[in-house]
Amino acid sequence: MISVFINSMTSGGAEKVVLSLLDRFKSKNDDLELLLIEKERFYELPENVPAHYLTEYESLENSPLKFPYLFVCAWRLKQSVQHDGQIVQSHLLRASFINVIAKWMGSPHHAQIVVHSRINFDHKAWPVRLLMKWLYKKIFNGADSVISICETMKLELDDYLNLKHHPKHLAIHNPHDLDAIQQKAKEETPNFTFDPSKQYLISVGRLVKGKRVDDLLHAYANLSATQQNIELIILGDGNLRESLEQLAQSLKLDHQVHFVGFQQNPFAYIARSTIMILSSEWEGLPNIIIEAMACGTAVLSSDCISGPREIIHPSSNLRAQLKENLEHGEYGLLYPVGRIDLLTKGLTTLLNQDKLRKSLEENGKRRAQDFDQSKIAEEYLRSLNK
């Protein structure tokens, strides 16, 4: 029995990963179930996989019951385990805490946790930092196996949480349904009309502080002063949308920057754009870079920890981080986090050098194949068989 366990099926990258893995696991193993903590839902549940909830709540995210229910759900998970050796693969931190706590309560299952985001508490006050590092070390070392979604994240966790000696800490990338992405890329864009006489830059993601979309607006302002035929599309919503729209107005860009909100099919927009930009301060493994490559769109990304370098320039030193220069990877361009001048330079380079841009588009399509869901699912299954 394989139990794939996650907080809920709300919108997010980890939830998409779970759906992709369930689809591939089902073709290999009939003894499969989906476990969820809460009933909040954005994605439809797979029809051919039974789903079970550990609570009756829609969401515990902002509830005072969130912490005590870690132990309630761990006990319920223990009670649901049917036999020794049952595998519970958990995604996201709350589900992973419950997974390991259930082991501590005596459950005989194999606890595999999948880490989707960077773990770092250095920005917190030292007593809090020490406590959280101690707790996370206990949880992660209490798991039978740990999957980091990229090699860079694995290296950082090995150092930060002392997982170097964990016998089963592996790096496995996120799976992507490349055929579906490429089919959706051909669909129409219902909320925006592309002008064939113009070129478009695009940013896709939540409009929150860590994404540094304001850096992109300032870089675009620099660019638009000399290139009049370029416009910027920003896909996504978040608590900074209003302030970003105000910034665009103050930069006199409101007629050239298009905030189109969250879109069910971002791929149709990406495929019609010239460059996809990721300006984040941190990431796990940014799926949007891989998706843009699958759409045949050139990528310019910040060299943030952890995933962009591993996708764009895998032959480089994965522990390196840019401070002063642009870097030409095999599959895209990298610039230092927060360096608006070099972000502007990268945009100008890709817009003005057609040969370079075309080569990155073609190389990116090939690179995307490394993340195809059938290949990645096989890596997960091999880890479970071991």
For residue 94, which of 120, 122, 116, 123 has the smallest C-alpha distance?
116
* Dihedral, 223, 224, 229, 230 alpha carbons, nearest 10: 60
Predicted confidence band of residue 44 (pLDDT cuts 50, 70, 90):
confident
Contact by Cβ (8 Å): 283, 211 = no
Write out 36-60 in H/E/C secondary structure: ECCCCECCCCCCCCCEEECCCCCCC
Predicted local confidence at residue 132, as pLDDT: 94
Looking at this protein, which amino acid is placed at residue 247?
A: L
The fraction of the chain above a pLDDT of 90, given in percent, is 74
Q: Where are the domains of the chain?
A: 2-175+372-385, 179-371
Please tell me the class of the 179-371 domain.
alpha beta
Mean pLDDT of 270-299: 95
pLDDT at 1 over 90: no
pLDDT at 194 over 90: yes
pLDDT at 30 over 80: no
pLDDT at 186 over 90: yes
- On average, the pLDDT of the chain sits at 93
Question: What is the spatial distance between Cα 112 and Cα 90, in angstroms, rounded to a whole number?
Answer: 6
Q: Which residues contact 134 (CB under 8 A, 6 or more apart)?
A: none
Higher pLDDT, 296 or 125: 296
Predicted confidence band of residue 326 (pLDDT cuts 50, 70, 90):
very high
The region of weakest confidence among 58-62, 82-86, 164-168, 181-185 is 82-86
CB count, 10 Å around CB of 382?
A: 11
For residue 170, which of 383, 330, 384, 7 has the smallest C-alpha distance?
383
Looking at this protein, which amino acid is placed at residue 353?
A: Q
| SS3 state of residue 18 | helix
CB hemisphere CA count around 171 (13 angstroms): 17
pLDDT per residue as tens digits for the range 2-26? 999 999 998 778 898 999 899 888 8
Predicted local confidence at residue 247, as pLDDT: 96
Predicted local confidence at residue 164, as pLDDT: 86
Predicted local confidence at residue 386, as pLDDT: 67
pLDDT per residue as tens digits for the range 127-173? 999 999 999 999 999 999 999 999 989 998 999 998 988 889 999 99
Mean pLDDT of 355-379: 95
Statement: 2-175+372-385 belongs to CATH 3.40.50.2000: yes
pLDDT at 385 over 80: no
Confidence (pTM): 0.86
Predicted local confidence at residue 122, as pLDDT: 86
Instruction: State how far the alpha carbon of 61 is from the alpha carbons of 7, 45, 66, 72, in Å.
Output: 9, 20, 6, 15
